[in-house]
Protein backbone atom coordinates (compact mmCIF):
# COMPACT_ATOMS: atom_id res chain seq x y z
CA UNK A 1 0.00 0.00 0.00
CA UNK A 2 1.29 3.43 -0.96
CA UNK A 3 1.32 5.87 1.94
CA UNK A 4 1.06 9.59 1.28
CA UNK A 5 2.58 11.96 3.82
CA UNK A 6 1.61 15.61 3.65
CA UNK A 7 3.58 18.44 5.19
CA UNK A 8 3.27 20.64 7.03
CA UNK A 9 0.29 19.52 9.09
CA UNK A 10 -0.74 23.13 9.55
CA UNK A 11 0.40 26.16 7.59
CA UNK A 12 -0.27 29.65 8.96
CA UNK A 13 -0.09 32.41 6.37
CA UNK A 14 -1.65 35.75 5.58
CA UNK A 15 -3.78 36.67 2.57
CA UNK A 16 -1.56 37.66 -0.31
CA UNK A 17 1.23 35.29 0.68
CA UNK A 18 2.39 32.23 -1.23
CA UNK A 19 1.54 28.75 0.07
CA UNK A 20 3.55 25.62 -0.68
CA UNK A 21 2.09 22.27 0.37
CA UNK A 22 3.97 18.99 0.05
CA UNK A 23 2.79 15.44 -0.59
CA UNK A 24 5.37 12.66 -0.41
CA UNK A 25 4.61 9.07 -1.47
CA UNK A 26 6.19 5.96 0.06
CA UNK A 27 6.84 4.67 -3.46
CA UNK A 28 6.72 6.12 -6.92
CA UNK A 29 3.31 7.28 -8.17
CA UNK A 30 2.43 8.02 -11.76
CA UNK A 31 1.85 11.74 -12.19
CA UNK A 32 -1.36 10.86 -14.03
CA UNK A 33 -2.71 9.33 -10.84
CA UNK A 34 -2.03 12.11 -8.32
CA UNK A 35 -4.82 14.53 -7.41
CA UNK A 36 -5.34 17.36 -4.93
CA UNK A 37 -8.59 18.33 -3.19
CA UNK A 38 -9.72 21.28 -1.12
CA UNK A 39 -12.18 20.86 1.74
CA UNK A 40 -13.87 23.61 3.69
CA UNK A 41 -15.72 23.02 6.98
CA UNK A 42 -19.04 21.27 6.49
CA UNK A 43 -18.44 20.72 2.80
CA UNK A 44 -17.44 17.81 0.61
CA UNK A 45 -13.96 17.71 -0.89
CA UNK A 46 -13.56 19.61 -4.16
CA UNK A 47 -11.19 18.55 -6.92
CA UNK A 48 -8.46 21.13 -7.50
CA UNK A 49 -5.67 19.44 -9.43
CA UNK A 50 -5.48 16.16 -11.34
CA UNK A 51 -2.64 14.55 -13.22
CA UNK A 52 -0.36 16.26 -10.68
CA UNK A 53 -0.49 19.57 -12.55
CA UNK A 54 -3.80 20.07 -14.40
CA UNK A 55 -6.33 22.43 -12.87
CA UNK A 56 -9.91 21.17 -12.62
CA UNK A 57 -12.70 23.12 -14.24
CA UNK A 58 -13.28 26.49 -12.61
CA UNK A 59 -10.15 26.43 -10.45
CA UNK A 60 -8.33 29.78 -10.45
CA UNK A 61 -4.86 29.92 -11.95
CA UNK A 62 -3.32 30.91 -8.62
CA UNK A 63 -3.49 27.16 -7.86
CA UNK A 64 -0.79 25.04 -9.44
CA UNK A 65 0.52 21.53 -8.99
CA UNK A 66 3.89 20.03 -9.75
CA UNK A 67 6.10 17.07 -9.03
CA UNK A 68 6.77 13.53 -10.06
CA UNK A 69 7.80 10.17 -8.66
CA UNK A 70 7.45 10.45 -4.90
CA UNK A 71 7.37 14.22 -4.38
CA UNK A 72 4.45 16.44 -5.32
CA UNK A 73 3.64 20.05 -4.51
CA UNK A 74 0.53 22.20 -4.47
CA UNK A 75 1.26 25.92 -4.71
CA UNK A 76 -1.15 28.78 -4.17
CA UNK A 77 0.59 31.81 -5.58
CA UNK A 78 -1.28 34.56 -3.75
CA UNK A 79 -3.69 33.53 -1.00
CA UNK A 80 -7.25 34.78 -1.08
CA UNK A 81 -9.46 34.63 2.05
CA UNK A 82 -11.48 31.78 0.53
CA UNK A 83 -8.38 29.60 0.13
CA UNK A 84 -8.05 28.88 3.84
CA UNK A 85 -9.15 25.26 4.10
CA UNK A 86 -7.78 21.73 4.37
CA UNK A 87 -5.97 20.25 1.38
CA UNK A 88 -5.57 16.55 0.61
CA UNK A 89 -3.53 14.69 -1.94
CA UNK A 90 -4.71 11.32 -3.26
CA UNK A 91 -3.13 8.61 -5.36
CA UNK A 92 -4.06 5.61 -7.42
CA UNK A 93 -1.22 3.11 -7.64
CA UNK A 94 -2.78 0.84 -10.24
CA UNK A 95 -4.77 -1.15 -7.70
CA UNK A 96 -6.65 -0.42 -4.47
CA UNK A 97 -6.43 0.98 -1.89
CA UNK A 98 -6.86 4.51 -3.15
CA UNK A 99 -5.07 6.39 -0.43
CA UNK A 100 -5.28 9.99 0.73
CA UNK A 101 -2.69 12.00 2.57
CA UNK A 102 -3.58 13.06 6.09
CA UNK A 103 -4.21 16.64 4.99
CA UNK A 104 -2.66 20.07 5.42
CA UNK A 105 -4.69 22.72 7.19
CA UNK A 106 -4.09 26.17 5.75
CA UNK A 107 -5.06 28.73 8.35
CA UNK A 108 -5.05 32.49 8.52
CA UNK A 109 -2.11 33.91 10.43
Partner 1 sequence: EVQLVESGGGLVQPGGSLRLSCAASGFTFSTYDMHWVRQVTGKGLEWVSAIDTAGKTYYPDSVKGRFTISRENAKNSLYLQMNSLRAGDTAVYYCAREVFYGDWYFDLWGRGTLVTVSS
Burial class (CB in 10 A: 0-12, 13-18, 19+), 26: middle
Q: Which is nearer to partner 1, 35 or 79 (CB)?
A: 35
Residue 51 and residue 2 in contact, taking contact as beta carbons nearer than 8 Å = no
Q: Which stretch binds partner 1 (CB under 8 A): 18-26, 62-70, 76-84, 97-105?
A: 97-105
Q: Which of residues 59-88 bind partner 1 (CB under 8 A)?
A: 88
Select from 98, 107, 108, 109 the one that contacts partner 1 (CB under 8 A).
98
29: contact with partner 1 by CB under 8 A: no
Report which of 63, 40, 64, 62 is spatially closest to residue 53, judged by C-alpha positions. 64
Residue 56 DSSP code? P
Question: Given the rule CB under 8 A, which residues bind partner 1?
Answer: 32-33, 35, 37, 39, 43-47, 50-51, 54, 56, 88, 90, 92, 96-103
Amino acid sequence: EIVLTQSPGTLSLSPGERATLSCRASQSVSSSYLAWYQQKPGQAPRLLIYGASSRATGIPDRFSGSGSGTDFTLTISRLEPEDFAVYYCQQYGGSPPYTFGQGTKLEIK
